[in-house]
Amino acid sequence: MFSENHKKTGCIEVVCGSMFSGKTEELIRRLKRAQFANQQIAIFKPAVDNRYSDVEVVSHDFHKITSNPISDPAAMLEVGPEIEVVGVDEAQFFDASLVDVCQTLANRGIRVIVAGLDTDYLGIPFGPMPQLMAVAEDVQKVHAICVKCGALANHSHRLSRSKDLVLLGEKDVYEPLCRECYNRARAEEGA
């Protein structure tokens, strides 16, 4: 049991990986454990991500938890002093200000759990994720299974010809591939 003089220590945890690797599932698992421990939580997701729900964070296997859709990471700074854990899903869709927001929350003594794609469909580090991984106390990289060969997959291969950086989709638009299968697919596309 903590004494009255115990000071809350904040931290940043990052869960990253490719599409279909279980990032959101792990975020939800950690948040539900915090709830079970009677910790007060707040959950945020980008307003642009409405694939399964406008107001819930939903994993590909349909586990879900209520969230606050926001467009600007600064909105997270409005959490009250009772909040002990903040969860952020699809962090790659936020701008670079997310890093400072997460740092500010952690410096307030809040545990910040962030989930997102570490690279985009071209294999390039995505949005604020590299900076978040650099300042985080804990980084967990999760992997999908390559749909071509069964190896660990760490790439999100886009099946569509769209060149838009942000293209929301599921298995109809993306597939998880290992390095070798990803490089082969990109070569066949002329990339």
Residue 60 pLDDT > 60, yes or no?
A: no
Between these two residues, 29 and 58, which has the higher pLDDT value? 29
Tens digits of per-residue pLDDT, 97-112?
999 999 999 999 999 9
Catalytic option among 13, 84, 90, 175 = 90
- E strand or H helix at 28, and its extent? helix 23-36
Quote the pLDDT of residue 64: 63
Tens digits of per-residue pLDDT, 121-175?
999 999 999 999 999 999 999 999 999 999 999 999 999 877 776 766 566 789 9
63 pLDDT tier (thresholds 50, 70, 90):
low
Mean of all residue pLDDT scores within the chain: 88
**Single-letter residue type at 167:** L
- What is d(CA 32, CA 50) in angstroms, rounded to the nearest whole number? 21
Quote the pLDDT of residue 47: 86
Going by C-alpha positions, the residue among 126, 191, 122, 190 that lies closest to residue 157 is: 122
Quote the pLDDT of residue 178: 97
Residue 115 pLDDT > 80, yes or no?
A: yes
**Single-letter residue type at 62:** F
Assess whether 180 carries a catalytic annotation. no
Quote the pLDDT of residue 111: 98
Going by C-alpha positions, the residue among 40, 21, 51 that lies closest to residue 87 is: 40
The 10 Å CB-count burial string (b at 16+, else e) for 106-126 is: beeebbbbbbbbbbbbebeeb
- What is d(CA 126, CA 15) in angstroms, rounded to the nearest whole number? 14
Between these two residues, 186 and 6, which has the higher pLDDT value? 186
CATH of 11-143, one of 3.30.70.270, 3.40.50.300, 3.10.180.10, 3.40.50.970: 3.40.50.300
Tens digits of per-residue pLDDT, 17-47?
999 999 999 999 999 999 999 999 999 998 8
Quote the pLDDT of residue 13: 98
Quote the pLDDT of residue 59: 56
pTM over 0.95: no
C-alpha pair distances (Å), 151 with each of 88, 144, 146, 182: 28, 9, 5, 12
User: Structure tokens of 120?
Assistant: 């985009």
Going by C-alpha positions, the residue among 37, 14, 36 that lies closest to residue 106 is: 14
Residue 151 CB coordination number (10 Å): 14
2 pLDDT tier (thresholds 50, 70, 90):
very low
Going by C-alpha positions, the residue among 73, 71, 137, 62 that lies closest to residue 100 is: 73
